[in-house]
Amino acid sequence: MKRVWIAIALLLVSGILCVSEYTLINKQCDEYTSIIKKADEHVKNDEFEKAVKECKKAEKQFTKSDSIMNVFLIHGDVDDVTNNIAMLKKYAQYECKSEFLSLSAKTKRQLLSLQKSELPMFENIF
């Protein structure tokens, strides 16, 4: 009977890990996407200083949470997003509008893919 309880505990821990991973990744990706969207708007309106501020905010938040994200996700994927956010900041500082917009579109797609890859959908399971 003791072993059955251990099995139930293992399943519970696994379930909790899955739910917390899904919630955390979802929340973080939503946050970064909304910050990048704001920065996008600023760049489109040629407000580069405001865009730099948004990028710094995203970079700061991402540095804080990437250690937790690394526990759940392939480290390379998280590093790619970290590097892209750093590049976005540089593009905004040097006022490179087209480069900024293309990289921000790529980063948003990466964040969406991180989110979607954790969903229990047919294409992710098979």
Partner 1 sequence: MLITLIRTVLLYVFIVLAVRIMGKRQISDMQTSELVITLVISDIASIPMQNTAQPLLSGVLPIMILVALEIIVSVIMMKSKKFRKVVCGNPIIIIKNGKVDEKELKRMRISYDDLYSLLRQQEVFNVSDVKYGIVETNGSISLMKEEKNQ
Nearer to partner 1 by C-beta: 8 or 121?
A: 8
| Interface characters, 42-71, with partner 1 (x: CB under 8 A) | ----------------------------xx
Please, what is the minimum distance in Å from the beta carbon of residue 100 to partner 1? 28
Rounded CA-CA distance 78/32 in Å is: 12
Rounded CA-CA distance 95/76 in Å is: 28
Q: Determine, following the binding rule CB under 8 A, whether residue 3 of this chain makes contact with partner 1.
A: yes
Which of 65, 72, 80, 93 lies at the binding interface for partner 1 (CB under 8 A)? 72
Residues of this chain, 74-113, that bind partner 1 according to CB under 8 A: 74-76
Q: Determine, following the binding rule CB under 8 A, whether residue 13 of this chain makes contact with partner 1.
A: yes
CA separation, residue 36 to residues 9, 26, 46 (Å): 40, 15, 15
Q: Determine, following the binding rule CB under 8 A, whether residue 8 of this chain makes contact with partner 1.
A: yes
With beta carbons less than 8 A apart as the criterion, state whether 106 and 35 touch.
no
Q: Which among 58, 48, 46, 47 is positioned nearest to 108, based on CA atoms?
A: 58
Q: Determine, following the binding rule CB under 8 A, whether residue 119 of this chain makes contact with partner 1.
A: no
Which amino acid is located at 50 in the chain? K
Q: How many CB atoms lie within 10 A of CB 10?
A: 10
Binding site for partner 1 (CB under 8 A): 3-4, 6-8, 10-11, 13-14, 17-18, 70-76
